[in-house]
Every structure is written in C-alpha cells, then in structure tokens.
Amino acid sequence: MKKSFLLLIFVTLLFSCGNSQQVNKSQISGKAQVYYNKAKQGDADAQCHLGWCYQNGIGVTKDLKQAVYWYQKAAEQGNAYAQLNLGVCYECGYGVPKDINKACDWYFKITHNDENDQLNLGEWYKKEAEEGLSQAQFNLALCYSRGIGVTQDEERSLYWFQKAAKQGHADAQFYLGEHYGTYDEDDEQAVYWYQKAAQQGHADAQYNLAISYYNGEGVAKDVKQAVYWYQKAAQQGHADAQYNLAICYHNGEGVAKDVKQAVYWIKKAAEQGDVDAQYNLAECYYNGDCVAKDTKQAVSWFRKAAEVGNEDAQNALKRLGYCGDVDAQFYLGVCYDNGDGVDKDSEQAVYWYQKAAEQGHAEAQSNLGVCYENGEGVDLNPKRAVYWYQKAAEQDFAKAQHRLGSCYERGEGVTKNLTIAVSWYQKAARKDYAPAQNALKRLGYSW
C-alpha cells in the first residue's frame, strides 16, 4: 500500500480563486463596497482585499469563485499578497480545481516582487487572526511555518494551526495531522485531526485516515474502516485512494472481492496519471486478469507508465517488443526518440522504429523517414527517407504525405516534381493536416 504524503510544498499559504460573475451591488456592504468600487477601477490592493472579503464572507456572500477572480486580477498586476493567495487556492482547491503546478507558478512569482512586499506578507493576517478569523489564523500559521513575512517560528506556526483547527478549519486540521504524524511521531494525535478534517470531506485527510486504519497506526487496525475512508476520498477523485481501493476490491480486503469494482477504480486512478495504477492496469490487460485480454490496451498503459520512468513498464514494453508486438516496438521508439522516461537515444529509437516499420506500422514508418532525412540515429539518407515516407503515405498517413510532398517539391531524395508534390499535399490537406494546407496556400493551390 502507498505511504502517506506531505501536501505542503514550497511556500504554501492562503485563500481562494475563480471566474468573473455579475455582482448585485445591494449584496455588498461596508468595506467590501469600498474595495469593490476601487477594484473595478483596477486598484490591485483593493482587488486583493475584495478577494479576501469574498473568501471569508466579509460584507458579501461568501463566494470562492469570485475570490479567485479578484485575486487573479490583483496577482496579474504583481500584487504579492494576491499571488500568494492564488497559489494557495490552486494548492488547496479553493474555488478552482487543485493544480500543484499552477500553485508553484504563483509562489515563484512572489520571489520577483519587491522585497518590502515580501516582508509585509505576514502582517497582512495578524490583526484578523488575533480577532479569531480562522482563515487568517491558517494563513498566518503557514507564514510562520515558511518564514514568509515573519521570522520562521515552528512554535508560532503550530499555535496558529491549532487555533484555526479548533474552530473547525479543515485544512488546518489536516496540516496538524501531518505535523503530528510526520514531525512529532504522535500517530494518535495525527489520527484525531485527520478524523476531524475527514468528517468535513477533506479528501487528503480521508486518505491519510484510511492509511492509519489499514496499518493500525494511531488507531486499532480496521481494514473495513480503511476501505470506508478510501471510498470517501476516491469518490472525490483522490487518485491514491482510488488505487488502494482497487487493491482492496481485488484482494477482498475489508470488502467483498469484486473484480469489476477493482477494475473500475484502478482505471480511475490510471486516468489521473497514477503510475502504479497504469502499470497494474496494463498487467491486467496483458494477462486477462479481471478484464478480457487485450494486448493493445496493455501496451498503451505500459507506455503511459514507461513515459514517466516506470522501469517495470519499460521492461514490459521491451519484452513485448522483442516478442514482435508492433505497438510496443513503436512506443519504445517514441520513448527513446523523445527521452520519455528513458535517456534520449536516437539509435535505439531507430532500432525500434525499424522493427515496427517493417511490420507495416504507418507512424513508425513516417518517424523512421524523419530519422533518415535528418540523420538522427542513422546516417543521413534522403532516398531512404523518401522510401519510408512513401510506405506510410500509401497507408493514408497525413504527416508522411506532407513530408513526401515536401521531398518532391525540394527534390530531396527524389527527382523534383511539383505536380506530384501538390498531389501529396492535397491528400494530407483533405485530412485537415495544417502544414499541408499551408504549403498549398504558399504555392497557390486549393485542396
């Protein structure tokens, strides 16, 4: 089973984010009205404050999407507070789908802001944190944890996490659980706070709570409870929970064995990019375990896992390739050609493209033609390039038809012949292949 993981990354902090919506001015009051008027005029500080109002329901009805909208406006003007808030929106899923890459992008932008703006970030929350606003307490805890805008202080960070958690702030409860489980090695306290957050629907907390029940860490081992919480998190799209739930259904752990449910959940995890799920799903298809045997599907999922460096998947593809599976041979060529999950190796790419091309794989034939045309992994040989382009083009592969047309237009590897060039361009263009359409426009021909 997978281990619990830390959600915190880089400089985690703040609020929420969203899309523009029409606003009923009669529903805005107090400071929010002032901020709104200035925000509409493009004032970045007002936009950031207005986002905060929407996130916390201060003078307006709470609306995380509106919060995101105004944070975005301010962040794009370089407002460090808004950039931080927007990063946390993406990290925690406030008003937008979780997206760690976008979160990191916004955190990174903070480093390009004026130093004074960075130093004042922590002060932004102190007053409201001391007045008892849980979101401000949570944000301030993160500031102390990371040393953003305040001197780094783990004790103060824990203090404010606890303040927010005791008011029912689910993210604070989850972070406390992570703190106790990872740093203090107090599994019972970790479970206590995971439970609090999990009951509020926090998917990561539900997953970690399931892990605790499954392993008997901080709580009596109870695989049925583990399945219960895996199910809760899986239904919210938590890929690791989906994978572990699939394993439970497959093995009949804590739940009646159900291969259909096992396949359902492992597919869900695989489709989200979980490499273990992708590899195991590929094995299922290859061996006919729980699903009808389907080598094409197996190769497809092995490839996805191989592209991110899964050695078992790479070895499985090689095994299939050496056994003559044309799709595996082609995908191995692509992996070596692009350096997907393996060191880029043009000679190995040519080796596997050649294997697949000789079996009539059109895209492999086209890619092999490119290698010969450019001298990548093989000696430059325009005639061999034309040979393989012709093979693929005759199978109606648009990219090869365009490249073959280009060879005829330029007289590369073949006698120059504009009529034949146009003919191949037109075949590709009729398949909506844009480069061929552009070539015809350049030459003044239609398709």
217 DSSP assignment: S
Q: CA–CA distance from 9 to each of 12, 16, 83, 229, 432 (Å)?
A: 6, 17, 15, 24, 43
Structure tokens at 128: 């409201």
The answer to whether residues 413 and 382 touch, using CB atoms and an 8 Å cutoff, is yes
- Here the contacts of 435-439 (C-beta below 8 Å, separation 24 or greater) are 435/402, 436/398, 436/401, 436/402, 436/405, 439/402, 439/405, 439/406, 439/409
How far apart are the C-alpha atoms of 394 and 381, rounded to whole Å?
20
pLDDT attached to residue 9: 34
CA geometry: angle 102, 107, 110, nearest 5 deg = 135
pLDDT attached to residue 111: 65
Nearest to 357 by CA among 387, 382, 379, 378: 387
How far apart are the C-alpha atoms of 123 and 376, rounded to whole Å?
57
How far apart are the C-alpha atoms of 317 and 313, rounded to whole Å?
6
Q: b/e for 374-386, b at 16 or more Cβ within 10 A?
A: eeebbeeebebbb
The answer to whether residues 430 and 446 touch, using CB atoms and an 8 Å cutoff, is no
Helix axes 80-92, 44-56, angle to 10 degrees: 30
pLDDT attached to residue 143: 81
pLDDT tens, position by position, for the chain (447 residues)? 554 443 333 333 333 334 444 555 547 888 899 999 999 999 999 999 999 999 999 999 999 999 999 999 999 998 888 988 898 899 889 999 989 889 888 878 876 666 555 556 777 788 889 989 999 999 889 888 877 667 889 999 999 999 999 999 999 999 999 999 988 889 999 999 999 999 999 999 999 999 999 999 999 999 999 999 999 999 999 999 999 999 999 999 999 999 999 999 999 999 999 999 999 999 999 889 889 999 889 999 998 998 888 999 989 989 899 989 999 999 999 989 988 888 899 999 999 999 999 999 999 999 999 999 999 999 999 999 999 999 999 999 999 999 999 999 999 999 999 999 999 999 999 999 999 999 999 999 999
pLDDT attached to residue 124: 74
User: Could you tell me the CATH superfamily of domain 182-268?
Assistant: Tetratricopeptide repeat domain (1.25.40.10)
The answer to whether residues 121 and 152 touch, using CB atoms and an 8 Å cutoff, is no
Domain spans in the chain, listed from the N-terminal domain onward: 182-268
pLDDT attached to residue 118: 54
